[in-house]
Structures are given as structure tokens and as C-alpha cells.
């Protein structure tokens, strides 16, 4: 203990710098975990969390018994994760490479700043932008369809269109910020490798294929592994606010997080929602352990642990 206190005092500046992040992690990630006990209790508001009676795994049985709803939102959660990951990673890498090879560097920095800006816009505001595009006959998209002689579409009752709409909104919101991570890797690549490739007659496409992309593999692997841990979680603002929580769209837009939020707002039994979030966490943990184990066997240097 004495050694620990001495070491802490010695590195007190670093310790103070870490404290805000540590407190946020403690308050919003670890302390709320005590609420998971509700997943195994028949919660009674009059008795509180700790005095409510235990009911074993009855809450989990109720969640699983919801049948089509449960499996539909699980399927939506997984499919959106796959689509967002594939399209988002590809778009972020392409943007990072394009900006890195942009001839006019100052103009490239301006483009980068513009493309990062959407990540700072709340989905509470984004929903109005989306609504302006897809609002009935007055929306921008329907106005363009009518201009070319087409028939307007009632987008907020057309569930099959929303996977594409949500993907576009997600990529618009996140691809600029995602490209920054890959640009930091590109900035560290030895320029001598490109010069040597030019001397050997490699064109720009070949340089990207054989130098740039291999250098990005460790970062891509790390980001995918970190993302796998949250595979069962979705951006609640995207699926709840942008879709305006329209029940008619649930078949293609309802994910586990939006279901939980809706259940909390409508006053559903906290035990059921706690069981749902517990299910998310367990599946996410198993997936990240499995994915990391696979990466550790194939490319040990890229594994997280």
C-alpha cells in the first residue's frame, strides 16, 4: 500500500489527468451495473430494488416468450451492425486515403473539417433534417420524384425503405470522424516506401494496394474488435428519434436499444428491461472474447488481449 501511494504521488499529474475519465466510467458504466439485479427480481416500486422478491430467470423467460418481437429486434440489431460496420469502415478508409492523397492539402483540411461536423449534431436535430427530406408530398425527395414524373412515396409508412435511409444517415453522421483515425495511421507511414515503389514503377493504385492498405490492417482489426463488443447495442437516437418511433416501421427499424427505451418511457416492468439489457451484455461479451481469440490465433500482434 505504501508503494502504491508513493507511486501515485510520483505520477500525480498523470493521475489527475485520468481522474475525469475514471469518474465518468465509474458513474456511468460500473455503478449502474448494480441495477442488473433487477433482471432476477419481481420488481415492486413500493419495496425498491433490494427488497423486491427474487423470481429467478422468469424475466428472461418472459422476454424470450415475446416470440416474433424479440427475434425481430435481435435480427435487426445484428444486421444493422453488419451493414454499418462494412459500409462505414469502407467509406472511412476510402475518405482517409482520398484526403491523404489530395493535392491541395489546405483544401483537404477544409473538406475534412466539414465532414467531421455531423458527428457533433444530435440526432434530436438530425430527425428534423431527415423529416424535411422525407415528409410526405412536401419532402425534398418526393418533390424530386414528382419533378421526374414519379409517384410520391409515404416514407414514414414504408418500412422497407428505412434500412437504406438509416444507413445513409449513419454514414453521413460518422464517416468523417471515422476517417480521422485512419488518417492518423496514414500520417505515420514512411514516405520512403512510396518513393521506393515509384522507382520500381508502381502506380498510385498499386501503392495504395500494397503499402497503404496493409499499414491500415492493425487499426482496422482493432476497431472491428472494439465494435464487436457493442454488436448488440445500437445508436438509440438513430433508431428512436430519426424514425420518430413510428410503430408502423418497427418491422425494419426496431432494435433492442430502442425497444428498451420505449419500454422505460411507457412504464414497462423494469425487470423485463433489465433482463433484455443483461442479454445484450452477455452476448456482446461472448462475441468479443470469441473474436479476440480468433484474431489472437491468426494475427497475435493485432489482438486486444
Instruction: Judge whether 103 lies within some domain.
Output: yes
CB distance 119 to 173 below 8 Å: yes
Q: What is the pLDDT along the chain (305 residues), one digit of tens a residue?
A: 677 777 777 888 888 898 999 999 999 888 888 888 889 998 888 888 888 889 888 888 888 887 778 888 889 998 999 899 899 999 999 988 888 887 777 777 787 788 888 888 888 899 999 999 998 777 889 889 888 888 888 899 889 999 999 999 999 998 888 888 898 888 888 888 888 988 888 888 899 988 999 999 888 888 888 788 777 777 888 999 999 888 899 999 999 888 888 888 887 788 888 888 888 888 888 888 888 888 888 878 777 77
The predicted pLDDT at position 24 comes to 92
Enclosing domain of residue 253: 57-302
Instruction: Give the CA angle between residues 123, 125, 131 to the nearest 5°.
Output: 95
The predicted pLDDT at position 230 comes to 76
What does pTM read for this prediction? 0.84
Instruction: Judge whether 42 lies within some domain.
Output: no
Rounded Cα–Cα distance for residues 232 and 59 (Å): 19
Instruction: Judge whether 13 lies within some domain.
Output: no
Instruction: Judge whether 4 lies within some domain.
Output: no
The predicted pLDDT at position 1 comes to 64
What stretches of the chain show up as alpha helix (H) in DSSP? 2-10, 12-25, 48-51, 58-65, 68-100, 105-116, 123-134, 140-147, 162-186, 191-199, 204-207, 213-228, 236, 250-253, 256-265, 270-298
Instruction: Judge whether 41 lies within some domain.
Output: no
Count how many domains the chain has: 1
Handedness of CA 36, 42, 45, 46 (dihedral sign): negative
Instruction: Judge whether 16 lies within some domain.
Output: no
**Rounded to 5 degrees, what are φ and ψ at 42?**
-90, 90
Instruction: Judge whether 203 lies within some domain.
Output: yes
CB distance 304 to 292 below 8 Å: yes
Q: Specify the CATH number for the domain of residue 236.
A: 1.10.3720.10
Instruction: Judge whether 37 lies within some domain.
Output: no
CB distance 136 to 150 below 8 Å: no
The predicted pLDDT at position 253 comes to 92
Amino acid at each position: 500500500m505504501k508503494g502504491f501511494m508513493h507511486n501515485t504521488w510520483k505520477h500525480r499529474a498523470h493521475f489527475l489527468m485520468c481522474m475525469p475519465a475514471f469518474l465518468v466510467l465509474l458513474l456511468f458504466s460500473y455503478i449502474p451495473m448494480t441495477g442488473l439485479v433487477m433482471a432476477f427480481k419481481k420488481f415492486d416500486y413500493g419495496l425498491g430494488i433490494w427488497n423486491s422478491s427474487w423470481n429467478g430467470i422468469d424475466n428472461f423467460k418472459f422476454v424470450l416468450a415475446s416470440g416474433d418481437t424479440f427475434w425481430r429486434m435481435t435480427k435487426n440489431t445484428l444486421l444493422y451492425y453488419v451493414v454499418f460496420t462494412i459500409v462505414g469502415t469502407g467509406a472511412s478508409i476510402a475518405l482517409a486515403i482520398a484526403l491523404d492523397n489530395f493535392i491541395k492539402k489546405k483544401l483537404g483540411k477544409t473538406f475534412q473539417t466539414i465532414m467531421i461536423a455531423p458527428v457533433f449534431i444530435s440526432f434530436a436535430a438530425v430527425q428534423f433534417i431527415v423529416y424535411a427530406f422525407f415528409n410526405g408530398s412536401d419532402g425534398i425527395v418526393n418533390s424530386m420524384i414528382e419533378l421526374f414524373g414519379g409517384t410520391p412515396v409515404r416514407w414514414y409508412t414504408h418500412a422497407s425503405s428505412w434500412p437504406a435511409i438509416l444507413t445513409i444517415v449513419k454514414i453521413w453522421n460518422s464517416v468523417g470522424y471515422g476517417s480521422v483515425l485512419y488518417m492518423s495511421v496514414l500520417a505515420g507511414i514512411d514516405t520512403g516506401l512510396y518513393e521506393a515503389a515509384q522507382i520500381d514503377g508502381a502506380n498510385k493504385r498499386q501503392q495504395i494496394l500494397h503499402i497503404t492498405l496493409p499499414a491500415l490492417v492493425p487499426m482496422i482489426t482493432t476497431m472491428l474488435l472494439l465494435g464487436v463488443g457493442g454488436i448488440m447495442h445500437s445508436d438509440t437516437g438513430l433508431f428512436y428519434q430519426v424514425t420518430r418511433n413510428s410503430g408502423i416501421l418497427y418491422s425494419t427499424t426496431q432494435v433492442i436499444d430502442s425497444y428498451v427505451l420505449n419500454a422505460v418511457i411507457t412504464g414497462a416492468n423494469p425487470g423485463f428491461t433489465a433482463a433484455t439489457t443483461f442479454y445484450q451484455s452477455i452476448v456482446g461479451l461472448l462475441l468479443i472474447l470469441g473474436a479476440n481469440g480468433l484474431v489472437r490465433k491468426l494475427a497475435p500482434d493485432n489482438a486486444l488481449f
